[in-house]
Chains A and B, each alone.
Chain A
Amino acid sequence: MRMARSTRIALVAVVLGIATGLIVFVGMAYVRTSPPTVDFATGHRAGQAVNVHMQTVGTYGKGTHPTWVSYLIQDPKTGRWVHTTLLDVPADTRVNFTIYQFDSGSPLRNQQVGLVQGTIGGKMSVNGKSLRLLNSYSNAGVAHTFSIPTLGVNVPLLGVSSPNLCGVAPCSTARWPHNVVRFSFVTPKAVGQYAWQCFVPCGAGWLYGNGGPMQTIGYMDGLLKVVQA
């Protein structure tokens, strides 16, 4: 291998350049796969409650995983439905959740999560009716839950008992059968990121119904990012 010194330097530089470029490209592409965060904190005034609107759909209907079940969050500024589960909320603030639930229900893997917990008054409102407990073995079962285990928040979402279900997100409340679930809780004083998830085995086709969308942020798992407003 007889090469001039300059050739060797050039060769090494090219190889190193390609390697660095690849690492940066792959690294950035990989880290950037995170879904966007919907901001409910900026411009929030102390003492004011925050209103969060979400919807749950049986199948997202497009993209890389059209068959996956998913949550969506409405951007408060544009009113558009964003396919994400990450949200910024201000600390020590009352948050009013409204969840439009479009999916069918099933019995729970553990009926313990049929209890409403950690919300103001320990209750929720389902289509205007106040409830503390959902029996997942009766009625339309439970479709999903909105649960933040580390904050003790748990809200079961009543399933829709209709054969005519919305299959492509975002779903229109005017067109598709749904349940409206409302509840409120006060965010903790400590800033930090709190994991929230669904406890219904709704990841169909995965062992224990708990793979795929059930283990993917942006579908049925998210982070409640409590920030200083």
Chain B
Amino acid sequence: MAIDTTAPEAPLGAAPPPAAPAPHRPVWLQQNVLTAIVLAVAGFALGHWAGNRIAGGYPNVAGASGENEVAICLSLGLGVLGWLLGIGALNYPIAKMFGREAIQEPYNPSWTRFFKFSTDHKVVGVQYFFGVITFFFTAGLLAMAIRTELLYPTNHLIGPGTYIEIVGEHGTMMMMMASSAVVGPLGNYLVPLMIGARRTAFPRIEATSFWLFTAGYLVILTALPFGGFPTGWTGYAPLQTQASGGMDSYLVGFAVIGLGMILAGFNLIATIIHYRAPGMTWARVPVFVWSILATSALLALATPTLVTAGLFGILDRTAQTAFYVNERGGSSFLWENLFWFFGHPEVYIMALPGFGIVAEILPVFTRKPVFAYRVATAGMFGVALLSFFVWQHHLFQSGINPDMRPLYMLTTELISIPTGFIYLVTLGTLWRARIRFEVPMLFALGMLFNFLIGGVTGVFLSDVPVDVTVHGSFFVMAHFHYTIMGGLIFALFAGIYYWTPKVTGRQFDQRLGKIHFWCMFVFFNCTFFPLFILGLLGMPRRVFTYAANLQFLNDFSSVSAYLLGTSFLIFVANFIWTIVIEPRPAPANPWGSLGLEWQTPTPVPYYNFERIPVVMNDPYHYAEADADPVADISLPPPAVAMNRPPAAQAIEP
């Protein structure tokens, strides 16, 4: 149970006692994103120089190929290290290593805090939001390029080499983004507020996970100037071993992102388990927090496999080991197994938070409790557990363990049972409700519609005889875009529209929000539904040439994709106008939610809760006049509050 009920006066984390004012640096020595860029560039140059010094003389490294992978990997690795040093992520461990107290920056209420290493979970949440949006729009532009190339069956507008690079870059960036899309911004921001905590368990680790996320973005971007990578996001070896420099960016980038995912997962697991307020029993934990807990478990347990697999790949490419090269005693199956052992839980890392958001939002707009709350949590953990036992369904035709195919068909189909629980919960919540079609509710319903198609087509893919036709085709592509884009991204936008009034104190224009939803919903389905048909008609993934009779469907999908891309401009315009330029103040609790996060003042004070709340009920007792209130967050008598020295609140934990 949560035990952190101390008043703000007491030391939190490593904060020095309030009597001694915290030592801090002059402004010109403070670290921010600019110092991070400077040190990252310096690290990059140093790594390049060192790589050429160390390995440039070996003909097998840099001779005939004319490319020194050691230099590329070292420059990327040291660049990331420089980035972390520059932002100040390593100040604390380095100071402790030398037996000193780390210098604490004073709490910085100005807007510059968003460009610094901040241990405030609310700042990290907002940073993650902008990071995820940048990631998403970059990869989204690449998707437009993919659809442009596919306008013609044999004529190439972009060029096959560039096309393959763009496909890989789009897939990899989207996967990297989607694994943190909800956990990063909403998980970090909301989980402490929802469980009545003042901070997360490991604020420095939390902040470091964000700066690793941004470093991963920069590293994967370098793939394009290094010549891209030809493998798609799955990075299959030995094509991986054969590829040129962009592959190093893929491997290092996934390792860096993976490290951030592991750290983010551990932090949230520890927070949810140990930082719940008194009375926040497991039966009262909001569904969204449950989903983040299940996701974090997957992040912490599945991602290490990816980092290890990537390390093997880097060794194969730099030190010429042969983990994945059959001729030298390795196995190309090894990468397939390791990658998908991570890759399938990864799929649920991207699905579960979406379930959580939808189940969390529905009760507010139906004025009903979550239907079958325990089934919802059981469903999420059922999915999380089973997701570790299904990975070979990606390899049904590969010739690996062919006799085990019925088993993996069974486990894969079993996973649709706990997934079905989520539908029981959401549909049950709608039963005899009082439904309000606000913007977040529309996005949540859109997610239910899309994920249904994504989920049902998943059963087709799990069936081995049908999979012989649809494996590796556009059918698979359509399937996972329906689950990730149609599921997670719709849920993410539901969350964005729902919680923005809490985060910013400002409200989106609801009419523009509805236009955004309808454009996105219609054009999403117009873009991706034809891809199911294309896959069934025999169009493989990642090709730039297709049969001439498939042109109409491809063009229909491409034009819809442009319109889908345009629909996001509505969101951007809405955001810029009503949040930034002409802020519209939001009511304190615009949706009438019972959630604990809405009981805090807006903007949320640095310490979240003046006093740790005592939770008395779960936040879903809508329209029940006699239900207990969710929590007692009333302040102590004013005299006590006024006695509190204001300086004490200004120390970061």
- Chain B: minimal CB distance from A196 (Å): 12
Check B161–A67 contact: CB distance below 8 A: no
Contact A212 B66 (CB under 8 A): yes
- B242 pairs with A206, CB closer than 8 A: yes
- Identify which of B110, B155, B242, B576 contacts A211 (C-beta below 8 A): B242
Asked if A204 lies at the interface with its beta carbon under 8 angstroms from chain B, I say: yes
Interface residues of A in 34-52 (CB under 8 A from B): 34
Given contacts A204-B64, A211-B243, contact A5 B161 (CB under 8 A): no
Chain B residues lying within 8 Å of A12, measured Cβ to Cβ, are 576, 580-581
Chain A proximity of B576: nearest CB distance (Å): 5
Q: Which residues of A contact B141 (CB under 8 A)?
A: 23, 27
Flag whether A192 is at the interface (Cβ < 8 A): yes
Residue B214 is within 8 A (CB to CB) of chain A in the complex: no
**Whole-angstrom distance between the alpha carbons of A33 and B241 in the complex?**
24
Asked if B244 is an interface residue, CB under 8 A from chain A, the answer is: yes
Scan B320-336; emit 1 where CB is below 8 A from any A CB, else 0.
Answer: 00000100000000000
**Interface membership of B154, Cβ < 8 A:** yes
Of B67, B155, B242, most A-chain CB atoms within 10 Å: B242
Taking a contact as CB atoms under 8 Å apart, the answer to whether B241 and A212 are in contact is: no
B238 interfacial by beta-carbon distance below 8 Å = yes
The residue in chain B whose Cβ has the minimal distance to the Cβ of A1 is B111
CB distance from A71 to the nearest CB of B (A): 15
Chain B residues with Cβ under 8 A from A33's Cβ? 162
B contact residues, total (Cβ < 8 Å): 32
A10 to chain B, nearest CB (A): 10
Residue of B nearest to A207 (CB): B242
Per-position binary interface string of chain B over residues 63-80, scored 1 when its CB falls under 8 Å from any chain A CB and 0 otherwise:
111110000000000000
Kindly list chain B residues whose C-beta atoms are within 8 Å of the C-beta of A223. Answer: 156, 160
**A65-B66, A66-B66 known; A9 and B581 CB under 8 Å?**
yes
A68 at the B interface (CB under 8 A): yes
Cα(A203)–Cα(B65), bound, Å: 7
The interface residues of chain B lying within 8 Å CB-to-CB of A206 are 65, 242, 244
Q: How far is the CA of A31 from the CA of B156 in the complex (A)?
A: 12
The verdict on B637 contacting chain A, using a C-beta distance below 8 Å, is: no
0/1 interface trace, chain A 203-218, chain B, CB 8 Å (1 if under): 1111110111001110
Instruction: Specify which of B64, B111, B159 is in contact with A67 (CB 8 Å cutoff).
Output: B64
Closest A residue to B328 using CB positions: A207
Name the B residues within 8 Å of A66 (CB-CB): 66
> Can you list, as one digit per residue, whether each of B135-147 has a CB less than 8 Å from chain A (1) or not (0)?
0000001000100
Q: How far is the CB of B479 from chain A (nearest CB, A)?
A: 29
**Bound form: Cα–Cα A205–B63 in Å:** 7
How near does chain B come to A33, taking the closest CB pair, in angstroms? Answer: 7
Q: Is B582 an interface residue (CB 8 A)?
A: yes
A189 at the interface (CB under 8 A from B): no
From known contacts A31-B162, A67-B66, A205-B60, infer whether A211 and B580 are also in contact, taking CB-CB under 8 Å.
no
Taking CB atoms, residues of chain B closer than 8 Å to A193 are: 154-156
Check A8 for interface membership: any CB of B closer than 8 A.
Answer: yes
Q: Which single member of A5, A67, A68 contacts B582 (CB below 8 Å)?
A: A5
How far, in whole Å, are A46 and B493 apart by their CA atoms in the complex?
Answer: 59
- Which of chain A's residues have a CB closer than 8 A to the CB of B486? none
B22: CB under 8 A from chain A?
no
Q: Is A30 an interface residue (CB 8 A)?
A: yes
User: Known interface pairs A192-B155, A212-B244, A223-B156. Does A8 touch B580 (Cβ–Cβ under 8 Å)?
Assistant: yes
Say yes or no for A126: interface residue by CB 8 A criterion.
no
The answer to whether the Cβ of A195 comes within 8 Å of any Cβ in the partner chain is: yes
Which residues of chain B come closer than 8 Å to A195, judged between CB atoms?
160
Q: Provide the bound-state CA to CA distance between A1 and B325, in Å.
A: 57
Among A65, A195, A204, A207, the one with the most B-chain Cβ atoms within 10 Å of its Cβ is A207
On whether the beta carbons of B161 and A215 are closer than 8 Å, the reply is: yes
Closest chain B CB from A149 CB (angstroms): 12
Q: Is the CB of A205 within 8 A of B66?
A: yes
Measured CA separation A221–B241 after assembly (Å): 20
Quote the shortest CB–CB distance from B622 to chain A (angstroms): 35
- B158 to A, closest residue via Cβ: A31
Instruction: Tell me whether B46 is interfacial, beta carbon within 8 Å.
Output: no
Minimum C-beta distance from A1 to chain B (A)? 5
In the assembled complex, how far is the CB of residue A29 from the closest CB belonging to chain B, in whole angstroms? 10
| One of B64, B153, B159 near A217 (C-beta < 8 A) | B159
Using A193-B154, A212-B65, A215-B244 as known contacts, list a sample of 7 further A-B pairs with CB atoms less than 8 Å apart, ordered by residue number in A. Answer: A34-B159, A65-B66, A68-B66, A207-B238, A207-B242, A211-B242, A223-B160
Q: Could you jot down 5 A-B contacts, CB within 8 Å? A: A12-B581, A33-B162, A204-B65, A215-B242, A217-B160
Would you list the 4 A-B pairs with minimal beta carbon distance, nearest first?
A205-B65, A205-B64, A192-B154, A204-B64
